[in-house]
Structure 1
């Protein structure tokens, strides 16, 4: 002990490092046990009332110590959303990997701020940005930023589009009365409209264009909407294409949108939250060639690339426009050629956050451990599994597929000839709830042509074909039971 320090000196470090090491190893073992057993047991467990109650305790004035805290953390492990399980089919959640546990331990130990400055973690992020440029065939001059997810990535990308359209005066003068409008399909994720709201444009400035029978944006309707807005004195500034619509997984004709955007002088952004990762798949790559023509792209590593939450990314073709949109270096953030303030430009110049965690390491570790070929093969297998599920559903007399399988999402429903449409909707909603409550599987629901669909999204490297066989059997069993209870034979 330093001669100037006494045992009474306050510190947040453990008083007994050996005891701390023992507890840390215990927690690591519990975490590894959970991931090793990911295929076993129920998909989802409802949080017990007593645990909910315990998590409403008063703010602790005197701490309970590490051992008691570790026990309470370990008790939480069975009560996640269930996305590590191979039969978690709801929404679009990635499944995570054990290898990311190792990366996250190092991240916690380093406790690095990735807002700026010259340190090792920064070079890992720069490597990930470079890899993303290569992956999507963007020029070397493109810029990128790791963020929490596609929602904030979309805000960043569309702010660049907005500010460029207004010659960057909006950074100081605001948008004022500028009647800017943008375009996307009715199938695009709600984060795009939310970005319009956040950026002061208003959600109504986003024109939601109808889709065709494949749930892709209707190009003729898009052209008409742009022409109408110009005639009425508004300023079109951006068009947002979708690579993997959240409802059914549809991919817009990105090449056609890129052509139109170039013709009309619009910023071309792609919402590729999960679908953009399909460039790694031989099955999907031919349908995603238009990605490399985008002005900006938002996607998530924590979805189809299975990086642990959270890990999103925004890629912008023009580094100059990207940095001009966000850069503002006050005196206390002044850069230097040498020392800790070197390593310029800093990530804070490409987004709104100065305080940024070291998300880059788990992304780097995932790519470094598994490589793009394996990740691509897993994406292809998920697509094959969705197509297989559609075949199994179509072969059942009491089930029907409600939308084409574009990638990894299959939307279907349990059907009964004696039930009305509202009754079928309620029945299928209850089937999904029962699948979840019984711990069998965790699909979600959506609406396809006014019909409630059982929506099965497969973004899980643990899912096997037999998991889909089980799902179909259980939907049939639960559907038949519920129909019988309703007085149907």
Structure 2
């Protein structure tokens, strides 16, 4: 049992605690250093699952014992997104620097809802950097959130307030309001649908616009849908373009969307969950032309930015409008010109959270230590690796590319009888091999092996290992289906 000082949770023996803490930190550094010696992922035994189903603990365990449980039952059975062979979903790999920054943030235990404190200045510094990255004005505002799903919701809420006025926050959606309708592509992330639902506008009010052969939103179809809704007496208020679609990594024609939204006086939001940070990569950034005209941009530092989870972000062009959509004066949130209650406006004025973790610190450390140029090189490299994967796929007759490789995602399948079943079994076999871990998606009714290359640790050898193992296991599974 951890011996504590009377009446507190602090240890009575700080030196013993310090030694245990150093062992834990050393173990995690060893874990990151030796990732290639471990499987990407492995199934969790039933007895391990059962070990987490015990009754409320009595606390009669010392720190060393609790840590031993972590080493035995948690560390080996994580999803594996820090591993260079992980390509299952668009999950970032984190970094050693980010891990240390997270430790510092936990020790400080700052609440970034507000007040006059240095941690908020760190967040404001990151907001300034993001403004510069996307060429937004000084009046633009930004906020750390859990992830792009939450940032997309905030974008919908801000756009709703922009169209209907601040009174909607008090009166809600009434019969006096015309039906608000929004638009995004059929390849967009489900969080846009969820945002419409949670905002009270209804998922039926979201028009899913078809995509073209490049999996980009069809601009002509979007324009037609807006015209038809206006003719029907509805109020188009929000268009979400995507930078890096979840399925194949496509980039919508942001410039065309921006021009259309400006003509129609519609809020232009960009879901750039992972793709928006391609602005850091000089060879890819030109493909995001038009993003600088967005009214709001949602993205994650914890994906291509390699910041540990979670570190989502929303950037809003009109900072005053952003604040008007969320600020809620209260006696206990009184502001002053001096003292701890100075420094207004506070982050809680730009979103729904009063209690907020210090997400900005690990982001600030990541940018400070590695620099924008290095992070951009990582992004470029993942895209180059995807091109290498495409070349390997196209060189094998038994493999078939199912979508253009736009950024860092390659979607393909192993040819054969009952191909959907074959490839579903193949992906599971790949994951259980521990060598490489892709996921699946469906493209034009065909089940695809989806490899998303996000991790800064991934190299050509990891791509080759995935393809080589796919060929080996695919041949074996294809024969079993035929027999």
TM-score by length of 1: 0.96
1:63-84 CA-to-partner distances (Å, cap 9, x unmatched) read 4232222222333222211101
- TM-superposed deviation, 1:54: 1.2
Moved more, 218-227 or 56-65: 56-65
Give the C-alpha shift of residue 120 in structure 1: 1.4
C-alpha distance in structure 1 between counterparts of 2:132 and 2:197, whole Å: 32
Equivalent-residue separation in structure 1 for 2:290 and 2:108 (angstroms): 39
Structure 2 residue aligned with 1:138 = 136
Contact 2:197/2:203 (CA < 8 Å) preserved in 1?
Answer: yes
The runs of 5 or more residues in structure 1 that have no matched partner are: 1-6
**In structure 2, do the counterparts of structure 1 residues 332 and 401 end up closer, same or farther at CA, with 3 Å as the change threshold?**
same
- 2:128 partner SS: helix
Which position in structure 1 is the counterpart of 2:45? 48
In 1, Cα distance between equivalents of 2:5 and 2:279: 58
**Cα drift, residue 8 of structure 1:** 7.9
Rounded Cα–Cα distance in structure 1 between residues aligned with 2:5 and 2:217? 67
Q: 1:88 aligns with which of 76, 86, 89?
A: 86
Counting only pairs closer than 5 Å after superposition, residues 238-249 of structure 1 correspond to structure 2 as 238-249=238-249
Moved more, 86-95 or 10-19: 10-19
- Pair 1:157 & 2:155 matched: yes
> What corresponds to 2:71 in structure 1?
74
Pair 1:459-2:454 in alignment: yes
Shift of 1:62: 4.0
Deviation (angstroms), 1:487: 2.7
* 1:396 partner SS: coil
* Matched residue, 1:18: 15
The 8 Å contact of residues 23 and 70 in structure 1, kept in 2 or not, is answered as no
Which of residues 95, 98, 101 is equivalent to 2:99?
Answer: 101
CA contact (8 A) 1:184 1:206 kept: yes
Q: Distance in 2 between matches of 1:405 and 1:180?
A: 35
- 2:365 corresponding residue in structure 1: 365
Aligned counterparts of 1:91 and 1:61: Cα–Cα separation in 2:
38
1:274 aligns with 2:269: no
- Cα deviation code 1:281-305 (max 9, x no counterpart): 1221111121110000000000011
CA distance in 1, matches of 2:194, 2:301: 21
Aligned length: 477
CA RMSD of aligned residues (A): 1.1
Which residue number corresponds to residue 473 of structure 1?
468
Contact preservation (8 Å) 2:5, 2:11: no
What is the aligned partner in structure 2 of residue 3 from structure 1? none
Structure 2 CA distance, aligned partners of 1:176 and 1:39? 58
Whether the 8 Å CA contact 1:27–1:74 is kept in 2: the answer is no
Q: How does 1:163-312 map to 2 (within 5 A)?
A: 163-177=161-175, 178=177, 179-312=179-312
Matched residues in 2 for 1:251 and 1:60: separation? 49
Rounded to whole Å, the distance in 2 between the matches of 1:356 and 1:65 is 30
Q: For residues 487 and 184 of structure 1, what CA distance do their matches in structure 2 show?
A: 42
Q: Which string of whole-angstrom CA distances, capped at 9 and with x for unpartnered residues, describes residues 431-474 of structure 1?
A: 00000111121100000111110001000111111111111111
2:433 to 417, 435, 438: 438
> What is the distance in 2 between the residues matched to 1:85 and 1:61?
35
Q: For 2:35, what is the secondary structure of its paired residue?
A: coil
Query: Is the partner of 1:349 in helix, strand or coil?
Result: helix
Alignment partner of 1:385 is 2:385: yes
Structure 2 residues not aligned, in runs of 5+: none
- The answer to whether the 8 A contact 2:393-2:412 is kept is yes
Equivalence for 2:24: 27
Q: Which residue of structure 2 aligns with residue 404 of structure 1?
A: 404
